[in-house]
């Protein structure tokens, strides 16, 4: 039996990286998936590769109307929504904290944090009406054990991690489970921004040396965690910061 048979999921930032891997695994495990991304070309390509159980949707998650339209399109196409994975995020380049300007700070919190405010407002009434649902927020080890040079990004992910726990407490009585996936630095398109130096084997080795299992996270690692936390196998797991980090935060 596939673990997400009959489920409908929305995955933001599904055009690449962690989001793409989550969407691919969800489809393989029987879910219908709305693939949301600000890059329409990339998300259309992912949808084309995954087939008819997907819907590509152009979404700026920092825009309330876009988020509400994303939910409406999901319901129109698949009848309901059972799972939302709030994965879309940005970072600022690794740099001294005073070098990050206010516009970058605002955009960072709009995409990484306020987007969850919008998705919760759009979906919690539906989840309450149907008797439950799953909210997965992609936080980060950056919000638990921060690295220097990423102060404002770290703060945004700390907010994601904490609001996840607060949502879990408040929404638990409605049978709405809320958990955070907290990856360590990963092999995605944002890696060089996180490192703040060119992505060379020598520079990677400096960061890998801080991870006990000796490698960066991969999209497949995050997807496996997202599958477990969305599945019935995790039906008593609520309010956790789920590290996918090879032991980085220990």
Active site residue ranges: 153
Q: Which of 217, 237, 248 is nearest to 17 (CA)?
A: 217
What span, in angstroms and rounded, lies between the C-alpha atoms of 198 and 14? 25
Q: Which of 49, 51, 39 is nearest to 12 (CA)?
A: 39
**94 in helix, strand or coil?**
coil
Residue 107 parent element (H or E): helix 102-109
Backbone φ and ψ of 135, nearest 5°:
-115, 120
What span, in angstroms and rounded, lies between the C-alpha atoms of 7 and 230? 10
């Amino acid at each position: 039996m596939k673990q997400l048979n009959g489920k409908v999921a929305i995955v933001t930032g599904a055009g690449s990286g962690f989001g793409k891997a989550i969407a691919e695994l969800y489809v393989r495990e029987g879910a219908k998936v709305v693939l949301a991304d600000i890059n329409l070309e990339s998300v259309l390509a992912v949808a084309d590769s995954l087939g008819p159980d997907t819907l590509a949707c152009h979404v700026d998650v920092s825009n309330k109307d876009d988020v509400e339209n994303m939910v409406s399109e999901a319901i129109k196409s698949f009848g309901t929504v059972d799972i939302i994975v709030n994965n879309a995020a940005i970072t600022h380049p690794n740099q001294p904290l005073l070098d990050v300007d206010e516009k970058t700070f605002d955009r960072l919190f709009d995409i990484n944090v306020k987007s969850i405010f919008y998705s919760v407002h759009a979906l919690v009434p539906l989840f309450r009406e149907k008797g439950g649902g799953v909210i997965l927020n992609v936080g980060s080890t950056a919000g638990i054990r921060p690295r220097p040079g990423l102060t404002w990004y770290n703060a945004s992910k700390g907010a994601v991690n904490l609001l996840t726990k607060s949502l879990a407490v408040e929404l638990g009585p409605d049978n709405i489970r809320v958990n955070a996936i907290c990856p360590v630095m990963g092999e995605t398109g944002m890696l060089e921004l996180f490192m703040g130096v060119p992505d060379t084997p020598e520079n990677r080795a400096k960061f890998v040396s801080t991870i006990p299992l000796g490698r960066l996270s991969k999209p497949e690692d995050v997807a496996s965690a997202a599958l477990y936390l969305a599945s019935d196998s995790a039906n008593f797991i609520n309010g956790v910061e789920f590290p996918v980090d090879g032991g980085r935060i220990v």
